[in-house]
Amino acid sequence: MSGTFTKSMARNIFYGGTVFFFLLLLALSFDTLQQLPKRDMRHNITPQIAEGKKLWETRNCIGCHTLMGEGAYFAPELGNVIVRYGDEGVKAFIQGRPKDGIPGRRSMPQFNFTDEQLDAIVAFLKHVNSINDANWPPNDQG
């Protein structure tokens, strides 16, 4: 073999690499399609969970918090908040927010949720906590 790199060698490397990575993409896609039905939680969604998700979205919670690693990083991860504080702890924290916030710093607003709305948010967060998310977040503190 000569010490020069020819056009045909470059072409073979390019085509070989393209075929290899295309086959790798197909294999990973097939594996994902096999894994998703095992992780699907849509059949467990109740109207209360749907209401909690609606409250989550309309109050723009993702603007400050992360959920399963997605969202803003200003406030704590909420994918495992039920593990950290429990149902009643989450409700108490949300209800206990000061009306005008904390002077001199950004803080979570007081949303004045009803008991039914608080139950819906907790149901939504419990549902999120039960999703197989490949061990994310990596620890209880998020």
Q: How many CB atoms lie within 10 A of CB 119?
A: 16
pLDDT digits (tens, 9 = 90+) for 44-87: 789 999 999 999 999 999 999 999 888 888 888 898 899 889 99
Domain 44-142 sits in CATH at 1.10.760.10
pTM metric for this prediction: 0.72
Tell me phi and psi for residue 66, to 5 degrees: -105, 155
Distance CA 74, CA 62 (A): 10
Q: Which amino acid is at 58?
A: T
CB neighbours of 139 closer than 8 A, spacing ≥ 6? none
85 in Cβ contact with 93 (< 8 Å): yes
Residue with tokens 């998703």: 36
pLDDT digits (tens, 9 = 90+) for 14-55: 999 999 999 999 999 999 898 877 776 666 789 999 999 999
